Chain A
């Protein structure tokens, strides 16, 4: 006879720093149902558009998520620029790509470390975070802050890179890449890691599409889908190729992120070498009026912004759809049938960002 037990996971849980609460209904060691409860991180952020003007909102949207703040601001600024009918100058477009990709590198390194920690491989967690400090150093030296960079403004960027900084950054990028290549064998070719991740939390190719997965979760299931392929900012001029894996399990998602980190290093290097000369900002023609939609690729997947304005300084409405929100239905489909010790691994495999989702 099966007796079901309810095990609460969170809101304060060692494996996930964020307050997410999931109730797991388990029979013996097998999870039969997962019920998420949200709202711990709700800050009422979208309502702030009525009290802060559209230039100040850049700083608020950056604080939706500290891990990919630059990409949030990039998406918001692009949406407003579309509405105003202006385009950021070429150098600003390249600088946006550089800082966005730096954020992607640090986000993926952070995730790879936490993922290794989730199945108890603590020394690899420390190794990845040691490499990550190089990215944080670059951010601090070029933008002035380690985590929240605040370099995007509507119409361009606020900071420039000089030749010394570019040369120093290229050297640091080499260190990051060497560190990653040294860890390839430890992370991807290791027997224990494969035992804990291969065949766990499988999301089939059809399910990934039907449930609306985005980002590495979708690309790990074999779909070649990345917003950067559409060529916003300077991606159309760079040599971008999406990273795809076909197994759809936790290992495939891990491999997508690992290879994407290496590809992001290439992108930053290419952008630094081909940085065009131009102004950093354009003059804005007035207040925004109308509606606009913009999509960019976050480390976790597709990020969507909708803004509506009425010609005044304040926006009328802003709506954000974040990748973790899209990845929760696939997650809930992956969990039933898994063993309880695999739950942290599967939950982390979609790279949940609760602060993005609940805002």
Chain B
């Protein structure tokens, strides 16, 4: 039994399925996430598969500004994913609200709604940084499965109560 469980855990880490949710992005980060899957970067050769269904996914990629209307959708998608799961927050808007921080309906980042494991800063981050973020998230996922140490923790700059998460890029 232990052998089979270990095999499943290792397979999930070897071929992570990702689901991408765009909270309210300008599309800049979304097209960079999509660009990771296309021939230039092609993460599919490493076993990363983009799925539309959160119930099949191991890693959630969140982009864009979280506002009062879409935070419920974000929470629902997060809750539908099976445990253990990792969340990667991509782009300046998703980290802190970005240029829209002063606006009236913006929450300051996805980490105010769901627990985030990895922050990828940039406006938009390059595909290399996003791939690096997913790899770091896999380390976090391995730690949650009890298969390795957690990745180095970092606080968001200027944000004292932010949850502990790794920053890449």
Q: Which residues of A contact B (CB under 8 A)?
A: 11-14, 17-19, 39-45, 47-48, 51-52, 59-60, 63-67, 69, 110, 113, 125-126, 129-130, 132-133, 136, 146-148, 353, 355, 358
Contact = CB atoms under 8 A, between A and B. Distances in A.
Given A66-B124, A146-B126, A41 B34 contact: no
A208 B150 CA distance: 57
Interface in B1-56: 19-35, 38-40, 51-52, 54
Contacts, number: 128
Specify the main secondary structure of chain A where it touches its partner.
loop
B73 interface: yes
Contacts of B104: 44, 47
A125 B104 CA distance: 38
A45 B32 contact: no
Given A40-B69, A43-B67, A148-B124, A63 B28 contact: yes
B64 interface: yes
B77 A43 contact: no
B123 interface: yes
Contacts of A59: 99
Contact of A19 (B23, B34, B102, B126): B23
Interface in B126-141: 126
A133 B40 contact: yes
A43 B103 contact: yes
Interface of B: 19-35, 38-40, 51-52, 54, 64-65, 67, 69-70, 73, 77, 93, 98-100, 102-106, 123-124, 126
Contacts of B26: 63-66, 69, 148, 355
A11 B73 contact: yes
B38 A129 contact: yes
Contacts of A60: 99-100
B70 A40 contact: yes
A67 B100 contact: no
Nearest to B103: A44
Given A19-B23, A66-B29, A133-B40, A44 B35 contact: no
Contacts of A64: 26
Contact of A355 (B27, B35, B126): B27
Contact of B27 (A18, A125, A132): A18
Given A19-B22, A355-B27, A130 B40 contact: yes
Contacts of A11: 70, 73
Contacts of A126: 38-39
The 7 closest A-B pairs by CB, nearest first: A66-B28, A14-B52, A129-B38, A44-B103, A41-B24, A66-B26, A66-B27
30 contacts: A11-B70, A12-B77, A14-B52, A17-B20, A40-B67, A40-B69, A40-B70, A41-B24, A41-B25, A42-B24, A42-B67, A44-B104, A48-B102, A51-B102, A52-B102, A59-B99, A64-B26, A65-B26, A66-B25, A66-B26, A126-B38, A126-B39, A129-B38, A130-B38, A130-B40, A133-B38, A136-B35, A146-B126, A147-B28, A355-B26
